[in-house]
Each structure stands twice: as C-alpha cells, then as structure tokens.
Structure 1
C-alpha cells in the first residue's frame, strides 16, 4: 500500500511536541511492515541548519495561492525506509519558529496547496493520504472540491488525526477565495462555518474518510462539551468514522539498557543501575542523597492544561511530607516563579530547573521513583509511557491517554502500573500522592511489582502502528 503523510512537523527534522514524535515514528514503523511510505513537511530554517547538507535539491514549481504565484522548492531524503519531501519557501518558513505568526493561515494554506500539487509531480499517488491537525485540515476538502478533476486523485482515501482539538484553525471566510482559490458556497451553506469563522478542523472532520485521535478515551471525551472545545456536536454527529489510537514511543531511544544520557544502565530484571541513577541525580541537583526517600520527577510544560494550578496550590502541603521533587520545564511565568520560590524555601526537597535539557529529562525519567503528570486534559501523552519504560511509576489524572495507558494501583489485587485520581482537584492529587508514599514506605515488594508491570508494557510504535495498518486496509 502507498501511504502519504502531510504534517507541519516531524522528528528528527523539526519537532515542537507530540505531533512531531508521531510523524517521526509512525511512517517508519509502517515502512517496516512493507508499505511504501512518504512524508511531506515544510522546509524550515531549522531543518536547513541541521540537515541542509544531507538533502537533495530536486526541482521547483509555482503554486497559485489565490491570485499570488508562490515559489515552491522541493528537497528530498530517504531515511529509515521513508521518503521525506520538503516544501521550500523562505518567505513562509524561514521564521525562526514553526508556529505563532500573524500569517500562519497563509503559510499553511500555501503548504497544503503545494503538497497536493506535489503528489502528481513526484508520481506518488497514495492509496491513503493521512493528514494531521488543523495545519493540514483543509486537504480532504481541497481534494474533493478543488482537485476532483484530476483523475489520478479520485481514488485517494483520507485520514485526519486530531492531536489536540483546542487548536482548530479559525480564519476569516475570505480566505477561501483569497488563498485557496475556491468559492464560498460551502461556507455559506454552513459546511465550513463555525462561530462565523472558516474552521479548518471542521472541514477536515466532515471531508475525511476517517477521523482518528490519539487515544480511545480522548475520542470519547471530545464528544462532550467539557472537552470538545465547541466541536463536540460535530464529533457526536461524525462518531461513526471517529476512533482513537494510542500513540507509541520510540522504544529504541527510550531504553534504560542503552540510553546514552543516563550514567547507569538497568533492566526490569536488575534495577541496581536505577538506584545509582537516583543517587547521581540527587547529587547533581543538590538534593540530599537518600535512597530511602521517594523522588518524584516532573518533565513538562508548566501550564494549566498540564494541571500545574493543582500542583502549585497544593505544593505547600505536599512539601511537608518526606519526599523529594525534581522539576524540569518552562511555561507560565506565575508557575515558574512559584516553583523557584518553593525551591528556595525547601532546598532539600525541591529542585526547580526552569529550562529544558534533553539529557536531564532522561536522567529524571531514569532516576525518579514516581512521575507526576496531573493533566486537566491529555489527548495522549508520551511522558507517562517514557517514565514506565524506566520503572518510574506515573501518578496521573485519569483523562484521555493517561487513562488508557496507566493502570492505577489496586491495593486489593496488587495490579497496576502507577497511580491515578479520577476527580480533577487538588485534594485528590494530594491524597493520591499520600497513597503512593504509603506504598513506597510500607510495601517495597508491591512497589517493585508495579515497576515490573510498568516496564513490561509494550508501548512501541511497531505495536501501535498495527491499529493504523488495520484502519488503512478497511479504507482501501
């Protein structure tokens, strides 16, 4: 089968979050299964700086963005059996960052139009065209409404994946004619309209043959007003083609037996190295080196979505307990300042590292006993899976992908891979921390069983990709 992915980012070339991880790993796993797989990405200045000398310059062509004719260069590399094509336009993509510009609508309108034109030019007409998040959300619509006259495109099936429904791509309706070169009929009849805006995500949900999101629980949650961000009615209406598939992680990269960032290696059969990693992390960050105290790790953006309003409000109480916390992340300034202040008041209990450091992140995954991730909503989440790979037990709110990947400890059966709380409140966060502390201090044998359970879970993309494989075959 020929599979084509179009996205705004993809590791290892460019990544700002989970979307980049998916585009870096899923196509590679599908190629290993024997599919012919290609990916189309924008060519950002950051890609040019890191990979420019490795890419082949292929050709260039002109893209009609409304009344404008825009240059589109094409660069190429094959990596891990996947064909990567890059759309090059310096005006649009040499900006220093991936997102956040006043003309993001025009930038990604150009990218989508160029990607659709490119398929014919490189003679890669896919059986399934898989697009991701709002930046590519107009592609299923354009394929059926603007490019339907191209015979080669008529058999293409489309899949749209929602990585986060909060970001929908809402723009003025004049964009249809001004940038996409199509009429306003589908806006005027309400198909593309939401809140008096052109909504790219709505277009994708209505026009794609299948819609997926990144966990089964999140697929159910976005049908509700609490999580649907205004599109819950649409998700209920289109629920027949909506499904949730949990992301995987790169289990070669996140491997405690081979990780080059951690000082000591270990496995689920021998955790000696993990104890040494804990001591090394405590020493490195200026915490008392104590084997007997549970060390809680946090690697996260410090935002409300990640639940840090709960954490900050409860931190005074939490730090009265016999524990240590290591935090790594940046985000809202109020939360950065709060953690820094508490670290100054409790230097033996809290190390606040307001930055991002990939090596330190791996050391935290490996050296911590538990991993705190109390998200208000979490479409999938990857950190909890990474933590489990290192025998670090996640303590999570039971939403979205966290609910699907972390089995809360059952004190009666001894089963579980971490700890969870169902009611999103500071009270239940603190009570769940207390439950984890009790188990750590009173029943190390049970704690060890949870670690073994967590490290035995298969979160590899080779397994996760099988569900996508089945979905594509259902379509074609």
Structure 2
C-alpha cells in the first residue's frame, strides 16, 4: 500500500473550472478502491460546496502566518480531503483563478505559492498529522513549486507532476520572487527562472521524479514547438521520465443503461432505446422528427482550440447534405452569433443552444448518431469517450488524447472489430468535411454502422484502468 498526497487547485464536486477537477475528484477514489492510502489537499475556497464542512485539524506556521488545515471527505467516498484554510487569500467569492467578475486574482502567485508551501510541510510530516506520504502527486502549474521545494529536503517523498494543459504555465515577473520568500538556491536557469521570469510550471517539470500528462500522444506533442509553449526543450531533455496516461471517465454518471437524464435506456446488447432518444431530442430542439437522417452533435467551448472555426467553414456545405446538426456550448461571442445566424437560416437542419445544460449534454450524447470533435489540440478530451460509450461515433482530429482513444473506421479496423469512429489528420475545413461525408456513407450501411457502435460501446474507459497505470508508476519510484 502506498501513501499518496494528491495536490490539486480544484476538485469535483467541491469546486470545478475544468478537466483537472474531474481528475482530482475521480482518480483518488479509484486509487482508494485499489487499496491505497490517499489524501487530497487543496485550498479552502469560499466557493466550495457539496461536502461536509471541514473540521479543524492543526495549524502550520509559514511566512509568519498561521495557516489552518481542515479535514473533510470527497462525497460518497472515504477519501480524505485536507483544506488549506487561510481566509486572507481564499475566503472570497469567485473561482480558484478569477474573482466573481471574471478578473484574474491579482495575488494569484501569492495564493498558490502559499498552497505549495503547505503541501511541502504536510509531505515532510511537519504538520502534526503523523502521516508522511511515499508519493506527492502534483497537478498543473498551481502545484509546480512543490517538487522544486521538496528537492531541497532530505528524506523527502517521491514527486510526480501531471500536466493537464501546457498552455497554462503560471509565469510571473522576476520581481515576484523575493516577496514570495522562495529559496535563493532555486533561482537559476536550471531552476525556477524562465527567460528572466518566474515559472511555476518549470518547478514541476525540472524537479519532479516523474512527469505525466493525460495521453500518450500529448506526451509526444508537448516535446514540439507547436505544443510545448517554450518548454519543449526541457520536456524533450526529460523525455525518459515523461509518460502519458489517459484520463478515465465516471462510468457511473455516463452510462446509457441507467443515465438519470435519459427517458430511454439502452446498452450494447439492446440499442433500441438510442433511437427513441434521438426522436425525443429532435422534437425537443424543434428539428423535423426523422429516424433515418444522421444527427450530428457537438458539446464544448466555442473557441479556436476546439476547431469551431473549421466547423463554421463547413456549415454552408453541411446544410446541403442530408443531415441535422445540434450544438451545445458557449465561448467566443462572435462564434456564438454566427452559429445562431445559421440556426435561424436553417431551422430544419441546425439547432444551437448557447450556454451549458447538464441534462441536455447527456441527451445529445445519447440522441446523436455522430459526435463532432475537430480540436486543434486536445490533451485528453472526455466527450469522445462519452460518445463511444453511448454508441455515438465520434469524428475527431488526430491529436492528443483523441488520437489515443478513437480507432479510425478503415477496412482493417472494421474487419478486426476495433473501429470506433472517424479520424482526420489536418486541421483544415476540407479534411473535416471529408470525414463528415465518410460518416454519412458508413451510416447508410446499417450492419457496418452497428458493428462499429458495438466496438465503441464495449471499450474500457473506466478510472480503474487509469488508476492501475498510475499505481504502477508510483511503484516504480
């Protein structure tokens, strides 16, 4: 049994802004189910909900301030969560990174530097908890100082640093270094200094014993200038300790056999409920009810990263093809307006819902025949895994976790029963449009389509699969 301290700036369902929270809320539970002694540590934000109030554990003194540690649990589990309680930093409305008006916290560097210091005190068993981890698992730039600070300690636990998205790096002016009271011996080119600035993420990449990211393909991509954001050289230098492990999905929430948001349940053994969900979705969104027309779905942020610009270029021709298209998402206001214009011009072809709606997300995953995910980059991605589980074949661009989780429907893969979607290579509208037309040809041949659906629905995307890979990594160090 390993003792694992899992450090994260956000954890679902306590507080969430993105995929990191999903990992922090699921992976520790899966590791606990594999018999590990795991504790999650995160800041005690004002916005935390869905858990018992934290009970007082102890007080740790850092930078002449008293910091309290509180203890609660992840809902519906035995996993302990330690909350770093320092009201002058964390007791404000808003989310971990922005205030309630969407502006970044001006003291965000101070907040996460303090958080990292407390993680180190707990990791070194200096927090009066009589518990020292074998492994400290850090996530993204907000915890990047932890491996750096641990590197200065004797008899320290091993550290793992997981990159969820290289685009966010926690970079601050050099003038922030001294006020953060960081050790002078870490300020150098092979330390926390990055082109004359302070980089939190570099602390994790430079000093962790192992680096992981959320898919094997993304682990390769971040060693290139296109995806490395200036740190590709360091990542290539440390490639021997860098690996990719695909995130799991919560198979209790995303399961067409008992999804609480569906009126018609179905499974790989009996697909009939899927068609009922499709007809219901068409009616709900005001599209002509037609079992035979292929229904395309897309759920996501309306930003360039997600390839929405490729989709907009394809929409004029898509309106001439025998298909319907439904979208749920929000993001770039100009993209929202263009999509709504298309929906007004083609009300019998296109239904656009701006915003986020959890029940509708499940209903689109279940009711659509084909799911569009033309991302320019995607460290891991979740919707392509949900879609396969729901027998909704994804069209994806070959990048990151999308490339690792979807098998293109080609003669070989269709023969050997591994095909589970449609894949295109280049982030250009013509390639996406060709993939859409290819899916229409496949959809028209029902026996082939159902064979691919069954292959997709029986793939194992559970967290147990991912957790056992992390456990193996912990054992290696």
* Structure 2 residue aligned with 1:418: 421
* Structure 2 residue aligned with 1:387: 387
1-side partners of 2:110 and 2:323: how far apart?
Answer: 50
Correspondence for 1:459 among 454, 458, 461: 461
Q: Which sits farther off after the overlay, 191-200 or 411-420?
A: 411-420
2-side partners of 1:62 and 1:128: how far apart?
Answer: 21
**Do the aligned residues in 2 keep the contact of 1:161 with 1:214 (CA within 8 Å)?**
yes
> CA 1:139–1:437 in structure 2 vs 1: closer, same or farther (change >3 Å)?
same
2-side partners of 1:195 and 1:379: how far apart?
Answer: 25
Correspondence for 1:143 among 132, 146, 150: 150
TM-score, length of structure 1 as denominator length:
0.94
- The alpha carbon displacement at 1:7 in A equals 0.4
* Structure 1 residue aligned with 2:79: 82
* Structure 2 residue aligned with 1:218: 218
Local SS of the residue matching 1:301: strand
Local SS of the residue matching 1:395: strand
1-side partners of 2:74 and 2:343: how far apart?
Answer: 47
> What are structure 2's unaligned runs of at least 5 residues?
98-103
* Structure 2 residue aligned with 1:275: 275
Post-superposition CA distance 1:436-456 (Å, at most 9, x none): 011112x11111011000001
2-side partners of 1:284 and 1:266: how far apart?
Answer: 20
- The alpha carbon displacement at 1:189 in A equals 4.3
- The alpha carbon displacement at 1:190 in A equals 4.5
Instruction: Verify: 1:105 aligned to 2:102, yes or no.
Output: no
- The alpha carbon displacement at 1:62 in A equals 4.9
Correspondence for 1:449 among 425, 448, 451: 451
2-side partners of 1:388 and 1:174: how far apart?
Answer: 49
> CA 1:58–1:323 in structure 2 vs 1: closer, same or farther (change >3 Å)?
same
2-side partners of 1:102 and 1:312: how far apart?
Answer: 36
Instruction: Verify: 1:132 aligned to 2:128, yes or no.
Output: no
* Structure 2 residue aligned with 1:92: 89
**Do the aligned residues in 2 keep the contact of 1:32 with 1:81 (CA within 8 Å)?**
no
**Do the aligned residues in 2 keep the contact of 1:75 with 1:88 (CA within 8 Å)?**
no
Instruction: Verify: 1:263 aligned to 2:266, yes or no.
Output: no
2-side partners of 1:439 and 1:78: how far apart?
Answer: 43
Local SS of the residue matching 1:305: helix
Q: Which sits farther off after the overlay, 83-92 or 113-122?
A: 113-122
**Do the aligned residues in 2 keep the contact of 1:173 with 1:187 (CA within 8 Å)?**
no
- The alpha carbon displacement at 1:412 in A equals 5.4
2-side partners of 1:451 and 1:295: how far apart?
Answer: 15
* Structure 1 residue aligned with 2:320: 320
Any residues of structure 2 matched to 1:187-198 within 5 Å, and which?
Answer: 187-198=187-198
- The alpha carbon displacement at 1:318 in A equals 1.6
- The alpha carbon displacement at 1:472 in A equals 0.4
Any residues of structure 2 matched to 1:179-190 within 5 Å, and which?
Answer: 179-183=180-184, 185-190=185-190
**Do the aligned residues in 1 keep the contact of 2:407 with 2:413 (CA within 8 Å)?**
no
Local SS of the residue matching 1:328: strand
2-side partners of 1:84 and 1:413: how far apart?
Answer: 44
**Do the aligned residues in 1 keep the contact of 2:71 with 2:80 (CA within 8 Å)?**
no
| Alignment: residue pair count | 462
**Do the aligned residues in 1 keep the contact of 2:150 with 2:156 (CA within 8 Å)?**
no
2-side partners of 1:348 and 1:250: how far apart?
Answer: 34
Any residues of structure 2 matched to 1:344-423 within 5 Å, and which?
Answer: 344-411=344-411, 413-414=413-414, 415=417, 416-423=419-426
Local SS of the residue matching 2:160: strand
Local SS of the residue matching 1:41: strand
- The alpha carbon displacement at 1:73 in A equals 4.5
2-side partners of 1:130 and 1:413: how far apart?
Answer: 37
2-side partners of 1:30 and 1:412: how far apart?
Answer: 36
- The alpha carbon displacement at 1:44 in A equals 1.7
- The alpha carbon displacement at 1:463 in A equals 1.1
Post-superposition CA distance 1:343-380 (Å, at most 9, x none): 11111111110010111101111111011000000100
- The alpha carbon displacement at 1:69 in A equals 2.2
Post-superposition CA distance 1:204-225 (Å, at most 9, x none): 1110000000000000011111
TM-score, length of structure 2 as denominator length:
0.94
Local SS of the residue matching 1:174: helix
2-side partners of 1:473 and 1:227: how far apart?
Answer: 29
- The alpha carbon displacement at 1:230 in A equals 1.0
1-side partners of 2:50 and 2:69: how far apart?
Answer: 18
Local SS of the residue matching 1:310: helix
CA RMSD after TM alignment: 1.5
> CA 1:27–1:413 in structure 2 vs 1: closer, same or farther (change >3 Å)?
closer
> CA 1:180–1:293 in structure 2 vs 1: closer, same or farther (change >3 Å)?
farther
- The alpha carbon displacement at 1:422 in A equals 0.9
Q: Which sits farther off after the overlay, 78-87 or 461-470?
A: 78-87
> CA 1:159–1:412 in structure 2 vs 1: closer, same or farther (change >3 Å)?
closer
**Do the aligned residues in 1 keep the contact of 2:190 with 2:206 (CA within 8 Å)?**
no
Post-superposition CA distance 1:135-158 (Å, at most 9, x none): 00110011123xx16xxxx24000
Local SS of the residue matching 1:348: coil
